[in-house]
Chain A
Amino acid sequence: MDVELIEIQEFLAKHPPFEQLPTEALEPLPRQFKVRYLKRGSAFPPNDDQAAHLYILRRGAIELRNAQGELVGKLAEGDLFSDVCLSGVEGGDTGGTDSAGRRSKGSETNKGNRSEGKDSSDPSNKNAGKPTLSGETVEDSLLYSMTCAQFEQLRSAHPEFAEYFDGSTTTRLRKALDAFTEPTAATGGLMTVSARDLLRRTPIKASPEISIREAARIMSAERVSALLLMENERLSGIITDRDLRNRCVATGLSTEQPVREIMTATLSTIDADALGFEALLQMTRLNVHHLPVVDGKRLLGMLSTSDFMRFQSTSGVYLVGDIHKADSVAALEAISDKVPDLQVQLISSGATGGHVGQAVSAITDAITKRLLELAEAELGPPPVPYAWLVGGSQARREQSSHSDQDNALLIADSMSKDDDHYFRQLAERVNDGLNACGYIYCPGEVMAKTANWRQPLKVWQQYFENWIKRPDPKALMLASVFFDLRALHDPAGLFDGLHEQVLELSRDNRIFIAYMAANAIKHRPPLGFFRNFVLIHGGDHNHTFDLKHRGTVPIIDLARVYALSTGLAPINTIERLEAAAETAALSHDGAANLIDAFELINSLRIRHQANQLRNGEKANNFLAPEQLSPLERGHLKDAFLLIDRMQETLGQRYQAGRFG
């Protein structure tokens, strides 16, 4: 055979899953093809093909619609239509079942140019030829086709090719995420190493009953800056150089006193199997320099910041340390300028979007707290107790560098009318300080300096009661930021009661949840990609993919509804989904899939922003499809379909259409 079908072979090699095939398998493949031409406006798949076929679009465009006539996808050059060959088995996917075990509408909506997790191990595809999707060419189109039997043969001969069609959305998403967060060999490190592996020596332990002097002697002899204090093999406290200085020498306490007097008793520990990064994050958030590592109940050792020295991602810890020392807004501004660098560094060491969100939010928390301290130092102590509340992404610990600020003040009911003067000044100082540090004023004015959001507890209680018991769509849209609320500074514990009350009220309040559900499904994910466009519901094309409003926000909104409908306390989206999986609101599979989809889109978003920051551009949420590999597009499409299905299920459960 001297004929070269090389140009067709080259075309295939550029498109998944054919790119997976070795050259020996790719080279003879074009000879198996038939070529067809469908002028614009023709039915697809062509109804005169006798046997069932797989189609590859060489030129043109095809719109695919479900049984209801809704546009569900659009094929362009290089896209594949395998539904006819894979539609033999009903269902087979996970994630689409709601808690009552009913199948969601998935079987219609879950097929695009990339067929969903049908059980493709069944070669006797007798009812092939009955696709649930039908299409129409919207441009003059040239197609390659091969019979399902040939396709089947190819799949059984090439597992790497078959993988593209096999497995559920679940397994594909998981793989995509693993591939995405695999750290590059050069930077690796904290994302792969466990806390256990970071430990460099056996822990130095003593009893809390020994004298302060004896403790100091042991620390000197062992050359450590912290000593673990054990009681009956259980960790009861820790003492550091700083404690000796601040709590003993500076206060003139006798060194003959038991060390228990000056130890820190409430201790945060980390599991030995946690990632090094998580340990670092915890230390950053708590602003501590030592962290005991435990295996179950057994103490293995202690991590100190010096253990992280060899990893460059340490800067987070030092940033927080610097923030605590900053004595002016200007100093804080200088520190906050470094946050984009931190984000870039974390991404290059393989951090997921979740990790970055935690780290960046920890910095924002620290800056906010420091601004409060500075304001209190200037204005004097507050006349009555108050709590500084943060909302939105900061509350969820999902910030990326320099989001808008969302915050509020909760003041003890004992406040008098005149006290507001103090709190207004406090709020203005912190809001202005945050703005100076790059956390720009909330466009919706959800800030403590806005009088409405600087109120005593009883008013807040009234607010929430109104929102929940007498929901109206407009007010709820504004209020959704208040259903992701966390107390950042609350020495008197004012917020806990309010939070409990909110959850109590919202749980099982079907009307309220129905309104929230209607809101939650307003942000639809795209249908997929079409050439270098993003295809959205209704058939419009966008030039960029809005990673936030069409990516992470739909999942954040779903998680909020699950949490509120079952009275779950977590605020972080992943924690909410994990908690919801233990309730009737969400299946375990559904939760796992949404978490993977969230991590995937969020990581993509963070990486996109890191690239922009690296190039000295301002970070945004708009990604051009040409920046995605064909494979990433496929993964994203899986994520879109999943979100769409979960929205569908939620919408049906609460008949959300009636409340929209």
Chain B
Amino acid sequence: MRSPTEGHRRQCLRQLDAGPLRDYFGRPFPAPALDYRCVDYVALDLETTGLDAKRDQILSIGWVLVRGQRIDLASARHRLLRCEGDIPAETAVIHQITDDESAAGLRQGRVLRELLGVLAGRVLIAHHAKIELSFLDAACRELYGEGLLIRCVDTEVLARRTFERRNIPFRPSELRLHSLCERYNLPRYRAHNAFYDALAAAELFLAQVAYRDNGNGFRLRDLL
């Protein structure tokens, strides 16, 4: 997935009517030439009813802001979404969100509006970001008629690049969020909800940049 350009952003801005997504596109993307330490990020994770963004639904979203090299716990959020229809049993085992809880959740539009406000002018951090990007993109298309474009750091991609660059053979399981956290001596959270996975991704990001940074910083471009 190629990182969207300012040209793409301005194009979207022209096509959209007033609304949360237009407001989002109103803020410029952080420039790839910036020092990564001067950029704000949003580490994010989703729980969904399945893996197909066209058919499956978002059940919950967790996120936390990362400002440069610091996670700001004051910004931590965890939102449950109201879901249409029954939650498939095979995914409920993983995220442990019940039908009742989901029924008490918020409308997708309301959560997306809040999230777009947070994402504006920031870079997304996610582990195996394809899922997050595709579901958020689908949700935006459904609600606002236009997809989501955002610059994104995928901690899984960063990890794979590190293994490959150092010629370290690895198994796919070693690219999992929790295996990588262990590798960097990060805490293991008991809960596996969207928020704690977002926090774990944020911590993994801090570890990855700490190991990449020789003390002089580097450009955001190197992470995208």
A interface residue numbers (CB < 8 A to B): 2-8, 30-39, 42, 48, 58-60, 139-142
Contacts and interface: CB of A to CB of B under 8 A. Distances in A.
A3 B184 CA distance: 25
Interface in B160-188: 184-187
Contacts of B62: 3
A2 B81 CA distance: 12
25 contacts: A2-B78, A2-B79, A3-B78, A5-B73, A7-B189, A7-B191, A7-B196, A31-B74, A31-B76, A32-B73, A35-B73, A35-B202, A35-B203, A35-B206, A36-B71, A37-B184, A37-B203, A37-B207, A39-B210, A48-B69, A59-B186, A60-B185, A140-B207, A142-B185, A142-B206
B27 interface: no
Interface of B: 62, 69-74, 76-80, 184-187, 189-191, 195-196, 202-203, 206-207, 210-211
B138 to A, nearest CB: 24
Contacts of A139: 185
A34 B186 contact: no
Nearest to B68: A48
Contacts of B187: 58-59, 142
A37 B74 contact: no
B69 A37 contact: yes
Interface of B is mostly: mixed
B73 A142 contact: no
Given A7-B189, A7-B196, A141-B185, A32 B74 contact: yes
A139 B186 CA distance: 11
A5 B186 contact: no
Interface of A is mostly: mixed
Contacts of A48: 69
| Of B72, B76, B78, B207, most A-chain CB atoms within 10 Å | B76
B204 to A, nearest CB: 9
| Of A5, A37, A142, most B-chain CB atoms within 10 Å | A37
Contacts of B78: 2-4
Contacts of B190: 7
Given A5-B73, A34-B72, 8 more contacts: A3-B62, A31-B74, A34-B70, A35-B206, A36-B71, A37-B203, A140-B185, A142-B187
Nearest to A31: B74
A142 B211 contact: no
A4 B192 CA distance: 12
B210 A38 contact: yes
Contacts of B77: 3
A39 B211 contact: yes
A60 B186 CA distance: 9
A267 to B, nearest CB: 68
B181 to A, nearest CB: 10
A136 to B, nearest CB: 14
A5 B203 CA distance: 15
Nearest to A3: B78
Contacts of B69: 36-37, 48
B74 A142 contact: no
A31 B211 CA distance: 26
Contacts of A4: 78, 191, 195
Nearest to B209: A37
Contacts of A5: 73, 76
Nearest to A37: B206
| Of B78, B185, B186, most A-chain CB atoms within 10 Å | B185
B185 to A, nearest CB: 4
Contacts of A30: 73
B177 to A, nearest CB: 15
A512 to B, nearest CB: 53
The 5 lowest CB-CB distance pairs between A and B, nearest first, are A37-B206, A35-B71, A140-B185, A3-B78, A34-B70
A2 B80 contact: yes
A509 to B, nearest CB: 56
Contacts of A142: 185-187, 203, 206
B76 A3 contact: yes
Contact of A37 (B72, B76, B80, B210): B210
Contacts of A38: 210
Contacts of B80: 2
A138 B207 CA distance: 15
A59 B185 contact: yes
Contacts of A140: 184-185, 207
Nearest to A60: B185
B210 to A, nearest CB: 4
Nearest to B191: A7
A39 B203 CA distance: 12
Contacts of B211: 39
A44 B74 CA distance: 24
Contacts of B207: 37, 39, 140
Contact of A35 (B70, B189, B191): B70
A141 B185 CA distance: 7
A5 B185 CA distance: 20
A142 B206 CA distance: 9
A2 B184 CA distance: 29
Nearest to A10: B190
B146 to A, nearest CB: 29
Contacts of A7: 189-191, 196
Contacts of B195: 3-4
Nearest to A141: B185
Nearest to B199: A35
Nearest to A33: B73
A532 to B, nearest CB: 18
Nearest to A43: B215
A31 to B, nearest CB: 5
A388 B224 CA distance: 86
| Of B69, B77, B189, B207, most A-chain CB atoms within 10 Å | B69
Contacts of A36: 69-71, 206
Contacts of A33: 73
Nearest to A49: B70
A39 B189 CA distance: 20
A3 B195 CA distance: 8
A38 B195 CA distance: 23
Given A3-B195, A4-B78, A31 B73 contact: yes
A42 B207 CA distance: 12
Contacts of B76: 3, 5, 31
Contacts of B185: 59-60, 139-142
A8 B79 CA distance: 19
A6 B191 CA distance: 10
Contacts of A3: 62, 76-78, 195
